[in-house]
Amino acid sequence: MRRLSPPSAAHGFSLVEVLVALIIVSVGLLGIAKMQALLIADSGVSRVRALVALEASSLAASMHANRDYWAGIAAPVSVTVDPASTPAVSASGDATLSTGISAAVADPQACESTVVTYCTPANMAGYDLVQWEMAMKSLLPSSTTQVNCQNANLQVYCTVTIDWTENIANANAQEQGSAALQNQSYQLVVSP
């Protein structure tokens, strides 16, 4: 009977090989963690942008619902919504809208009451703008918003502009020198 002898050289991994493999796996895991962090940051930015688009569409729907006022604009109208200023909503170019905004600011429940004679189309437009401004203020406290309406060839066009500042995550070392805060703007053209 023959005796089996162990091989002369043991086969396996050396400690150096294991350490190199560990370093490679660690670098890969760090890269995956960085990508995950960027994805989370980008999803937050996308969420804010989608909500801004929904808020602008909400105002457009209010304009479509109140065609008596918005489609009858004869002169250019400019409405500025700025939570940092007082009053937060101001209008120029149309005295009836300024009156409607003032009435809506003074008595926000006026257009919700059952008294139909108090809430004129200008009051309703003012009420809609004040309610919209409050929604924008809760979404983006530092945003500024402007609505500009023009009557061109008997067709009214309103441009809703929303400006805000958002945090942008830097994806690589080349972007580290750029500012993390960037100004953003969203515009929607509405024909009430």
- With respect to residue 7, please indicate whether it lies within any of the assigned structural domains: no
Task: Tell me, yes or no, if the pTM score tops 0.75.
Answer: no
Domains held by the chain: number? 1
Domain that holds residue 36: 15-170+179-190
- With respect to residue 55, please indicate whether it lies within any of the assigned structural domains: yes
| Rounded alpha-carbon distances, angstroms, from residue 29 to 15, 25, 35, 39, 153 | 21, 6, 10, 15, 62
* Backbone dihedral region for residue 128 (phi beyond 0: left; psi -120 to 50: alpha; all else: beta): alpha
How far is 64 from 66, CA to CA, in rounded Å? 5
- With respect to residue 5, please indicate whether it lies within any of the assigned structural domains: no
- With respect to residue 1, please indicate whether it lies within any of the assigned structural domains: no
More confident residue, 181 or 57: 57
Instruction: List pLDDT tens digits, range 113-165.
Output: 555 556 778 878 888 888 888 888 888 888 888 888 888 777 888 999 999 98
pLDDT band (50, 70, 90) for residue 171: low
Instruction: List pLDDT tens digits, range 4-52.
Output: 666 666 677 788 888 999 999 999 999 999 888 888 877 878 888 999 9
H helix runs in the chain, sequence order = 15-65, 67-70, 95-106, 121-139
- Confidence (pLDDT) at 60: 94
- With respect to residue 27, please indicate whether it lies within any of the assigned structural domains: yes
- With respect to residue 4, please indicate whether it lies within any of the assigned structural domains: no
Give the pLDDT mean for 78-86.
Answer: 69
- Confidence (pLDDT) at 155: 85
- With respect to residue 150, please indicate whether it lies within any of the assigned structural domains: yes
- Confidence (pLDDT) at 82: 63
How far is 18 from 58, CA to CA, in rounded Å? 60
- With respect to residue 86, please indicate whether it lies within any of the assigned structural domains: yes
- State how beta strands 181-190 and 89-92 pair: unpaired
